[in-house]
Chains A and B, each alone.
Chain A
Amino acid sequence: MNPSRRITLTASALLVVCMLSSALVLRLADQMRPAAPLQEVLYISSPKVLKRLSLGYDGLLADVYWTRVVQYFGSKHYAGARDYDLLAPLLEITTALDPRMTVAYEFGANFLAPKPPDGAGMPQQAIQLAEFGIRNNPNEWRLYYDLGFIYYMDLQDYKNAADAFERGSRVPNAHPWLKLMAALMAEHAGEIQTSRMLWTTTYETTPDQNVRANAAAHLRALQVDEDVTSLEALVSRYREKTGHLPDSFPDLQAAGMLRGVPTDPLGKAYKLAADGHVEVRDPDDLPFIQKGAPPGYVPPLKPKFLPSD
């Protein structure tokens, strides 16, 4: 082997070794260094300054910030966090950089509004975001829908929800359900059917797979809540009639109060507990249920969605 070739080979081998070793050392250093403080820093918090620094390429910077929002919310949500300090400022920067990015208002409001662990528990900031979105995109009916949704679901403010749906119904090409929603708010605001209609609209109109899965899970949860309420009412009636609680659902069948063993939306039979409460068999498969969970049940941090959703 001539000297030049030997040097080339030695240098190449050394280069590869050094590269791999440096990557390994960096990996070790990353494990030693606490990651959290790095995540919680917003180096430039002023949307105006950032817009100027973008030199006119604010659209791309907005995309970067929106990706940062998704990553921030996703990682905190996955870790079961209850504080989302940077979420609202990050969304403010994203929408200031690109006020027409409707996806940031739609998802952003739904990240902000729900109570932890489903969201950041900041419904007022979610409303501000949605209103800012409406001011900049007055013809986007989905933003009015999102606003009404937050008022209804997270604040139980039916008057403002009705107002938001009504405003949205006047937008050209608005979904016809908005008018119906506005009317429903006035008459049947707190009823389960109204919630079902809202989630059904979300399920049918969203183009996003994740939102559809979330809506499907909420619809199943509403079905469970309704089933458990009516089954427990039957159990109470049976008790009034016989003076004791039924041992199982066949007792209710025998009394002519049920036609068969009732099943949850996933096709699994409900359980009748000894104290007369009705429970689902796999609460993990039915996230967001208000009723039917076994006593002391702690829901998983990440809601389980079905592949079929």
Chain B
Amino acid sequence: MSTRIASIASNTFREAVRDRVLYNLIAFALLMSGAAILVGQLSIGIERLVVINLGLTAISLFGVVIAIFIGIGLVSKEIEKRTLYTVLSRPVQRWEFIVGKFLGLAGTLVVNTFFMAVGVFAALYYVSRHFQMADGWLLVALYFIILQFLVITALALLFSAFSTPVESAVFAFLLFVIGSFAQDLRGFAAMAHGATRWLATGAAYLVPNFSSLNVISSVAHEQPVAGSLILSNTAYALLYTGMALCGAVLIFERRNLK
């Protein structure tokens, strides 16, 4: 079982590399070097802040875009090219196919994030000329960004299991936007009454809470991240990812592929 999942995952990774997904690293490198050199001339006193804010925001947004646009095609592309039938004609379960695809794309995003993180640290060293203990919190922010990718990849895969690529992209992107407003949604629920309150509370817990996974601004100001937050965010992201993947497997298991 694990060998079959690993094979699907490694093929997904290789396909993403063949699709020139990692070319975004060039754009990222240009962005970081440009920011590191130019911002000192354009602004005052925020060279370090800009490198961290811009670097981590770019890693997050580039990753979200890759997760959505590759994730939505993971199933539909295989059906369109009819390669799915070849895979499923072998002793491969449908759920193994979904999990393998998920792990392949998650692996691509982790590798991509690793190279981008190296770029951020290099730019940080260029503007500060030294590293400090507080820079270690950037690793926590990067870890949260990877957790965010896991959730979005699983959601993209979920939508990809039952709708067209365009619809999947729209759904996944809208959930990303709504998820970024999750705290506001909770605030709205707290102010509402009656059925509206129940509906708003339900919606607030149903959509992914991306705002708690975003600590970019805090780590840019060298603020520590509580260990309890790291634990709860890890548990939340893994549970939500598991939930979305289970949904994807359930739909895909029942999908008529003829």
Chain A nearest CB, measured from B218 CB (Å):
8
The answer, yes or no, to whether B128 is at the interface (CB within 8 Å) is no
* B214 contacts A63, C-beta separation under 8 Å: no
The answer, yes or no, to whether B45 is at the interface (CB within 8 Å) is yes
Chain B nearest CB, measured from A33 CB (Å):
23
* CA of A70 to CA of B38, assembled, Å: 14
The answer, yes or no, to whether A174 is at the interface (CB within 8 Å) is no
The answer, yes or no, to whether A101 is at the interface (CB within 8 Å) is yes
**In the complex, which residues 47-81 of chain A have their Cβ closer than 8 Å to any Cβ of chain B?**
52, 55-60, 62-63, 66-67, 70-71
Residues of A within 8 A of B45 (CB): 103, 106-107, 208
* A60 contacts B54, C-beta separation under 8 Å: yes
Contacts known (A55-B177, A56-B180, A58-B217); A70 close to B60, Cβ less than 8 A: no
Contacts known (A57-B214, A59-B220, A208-B44); A52 close to B181, Cβ less than 8 A: yes
* A63 contacts B54, C-beta separation under 8 Å: yes
Residues of B within 8 A of A57 (CB): 53, 57, 60-61, 214, 216
**In the complex, which residues 30-66 of chain B have their Cβ closer than 8 Å to any Cβ of chain A?**
39, 42-46, 49-50, 52-54, 57, 60-61
The answer, yes or no, to whether A98 is at the interface (CB within 8 Å) is yes
- Count contacts on A: residues with CB < 8 A to the other chain: 21
* CA of A231 to CA of B172, assembled, Å: 77
The answer, yes or no, to whether A271 is at the interface (CB within 8 Å) is no
* CA of A202 to CA of B93, assembled, Å: 70
Chain B nearest CB, measured from A133 CB (Å):
13
Interface centre among B52, B53, B54, B177 (most CB of A within 10 A): B53
Contacts known (A52-B181, A100-B221); A59 close to B216, Cβ less than 8 A: yes
Chain B nearest CB, measured from A166 CB (Å):
27
* Shortest Cβ distance from A111 into B: residue: B44
* A101 contacts B44, C-beta separation under 8 Å: no
* A63 contacts B217, C-beta separation under 8 Å: no
Chain B nearest CB, measured from A301 CB (Å):
20
- Count contacts on B: residues with CB < 8 A to the other chain: 26
The answer, yes or no, to whether A263 is at the interface (CB within 8 Å) is no
The answer, yes or no, to whether B211 is at the interface (CB within 8 Å) is yes
Residues of A within 8 A of B252 (CB): none
* A55 contacts B180, C-beta separation under 8 Å: yes
The answer, yes or no, to whether B137 is at the interface (CB within 8 Å) is no
* A63 contacts B211, C-beta separation under 8 Å: no
Residues of A within 8 A of B52 (CB): 59
* CA of A103 to CA of B45, assembled, Å: 6
* Shortest Cβ distance from A56 into B: residue: B214
* A98 contacts B217, C-beta separation under 8 Å: yes
Residues of B within 8 A of A66 (CB): 43-44, 46
Residues of A within 8 A of B42 (CB): 67, 70-71
* Shortest Cβ distance from A106 into B: residue: B45
The answer, yes or no, to whether B97 is at the interface (CB within 8 Å) is no
The answer, yes or no, to whether B184 is at the interface (CB within 8 Å) is yes
Instruction: Indicate with 1 or 0, residue by residue over B151-189, a CB within 8 angstroms of chain A CB atoms.
Output: 000000000000000000000000001001100100000
* A63 contacts B60, C-beta separation under 8 Å: no
Interface centre among A55, A56, A70 (most CB of B within 10 A): A56
Chain A nearest CB, measured from B108 CB (Å):
23
* Shortest Cβ distance from B183 into A: residue: A56
* CA of A70 to CA of B47, assembled, Å: 13
* A103 contacts B46, C-beta separation under 8 Å: yes
* CA of A57 to CA of B44, assembled, Å: 20
**In the complex, which residues 197-216 of chain B have their Cβ closer than 8 Å to any Cβ of chain A?**
210-211, 214, 216
**In the complex, which residues 208-246 of chain A have their Cβ closer than 8 Å to any Cβ of chain B?**
208, 210
Residues of B within 8 A of A103 (CB): 44-46
Residues of A within 8 A of B216 (CB): 56-57, 59-60
Chain A nearest CB, measured from B237 CB (Å):
15
* B46 contacts A63, C-beta separation under 8 Å: yes
Residues of B within 8 A of A60 (CB): 50, 53-54, 57, 216
Interface centre among A58, A71, A208 (most CB of B within 10 A): A58
* CA of A71 to CA of B43, assembled, Å: 7
Residues of A within 8 A of B44 (CB): 66, 70, 103, 107, 208, 210
* CA of A52 to CA of B187, assembled, Å: 13
Residues of B within 8 A of A106 (CB): 45
Chain A nearest CB, measured from B211 CB (Å):
5
Give 20 CB contacts A-B under 8 Å: A52-B181, A55-B177, A56-B210, A56-B211, A57-B53, A57-B60, A57-B214, A58-B217, A59-B217, A63-B50, A66-B43, A66-B44, A66-B46, A67-B43, A67-B46, A98-B217, A101-B49, A106-B45, A107-B44, A107-B45
Extra 15 A-B pairs, beta carbons < 8 Å, given A59-B217, A60-B50, A62-B217: A56-B216, A57-B57, A57-B61, A59-B52, A59-B53, A60-B54, A60-B57, A63-B39, A63-B46, A67-B43, A67-B46, A100-B221, A103-B44, A107-B45, A208-B45
